[in-house]
Amino acid sequence: MKKKKSGSIEVITGGMFSGKTEELIRRVRRAQIASQKVQVFKPRLDYRGGEEKLSSHNGVQLDATPVGEARQILGLVDSDTTVVAIDEAQFFDKDIVDVVRKLAYNNKRVIIAGLDMNFRGEPFGFMGDLMAIADEMAKLHAICQVCGEDASFSQRLINGKPASYDAPTVLVGGSDVYQARCRHCYRPPKRKSRKK
């Protein structure tokens, strides 16, 4: 008896400038070469490269559908689609976990990319939950912009100094606002002390 093909969940994660979007695009292009139907989604919040494009920091681009909420993806995926790719997953609401699970149970290969930690060095959004349900996970590293070692952290800088802990969690930007840093060179933002 032939085994029925099942869906899968692949998570690509790491810090800023580690090549997450570039790896997602590489996997999508391989699926397209194999004549698989692919649909690509991104959060509407990510405007890099234009509203309907995924864009890596090194300029590699791919067409994508922007969505405001994770649940919208379910209504947009065609029945004959075999691969669903989702970039910048850390920006989606909590429903992203359920959406990804449903897609996989409906025999879709789901490829997700997103930051594992925010600039505070804390888990970002629901990426930890997505990593927990993944069939496969790739943690990518950038190069520390201070010492040249492998970098896992994203240092947000304001006027050349680490941003304060209380700065907004979401700030879409590139090398003008962020640096890739290793654990040794990363400077965790300090919380402002509360007056008694």
Q: Which residues are catalytic?
A: 88
pLDDT digits (tens, 9 = 90+) for 34-65: 999 999 999 987 655 557 777 766 777 788 99
CATH number assigned to the domain covering 8-140: 3.40.50.300
In this prediction the pTM is: 0.88
First vs last C-alpha separation in the chain: 70
Domain positions in the chain are 8-140
Selection from 60, 68, 62, 64 nearest residue 52 by Cα: 64
Whether 196 has a pLDDT exceeding 70, the answer reads no
pLDDT digits (tens, 9 = 90+) for 148-181: 999 999 999 988 888 888 887 777 656 678 899 9
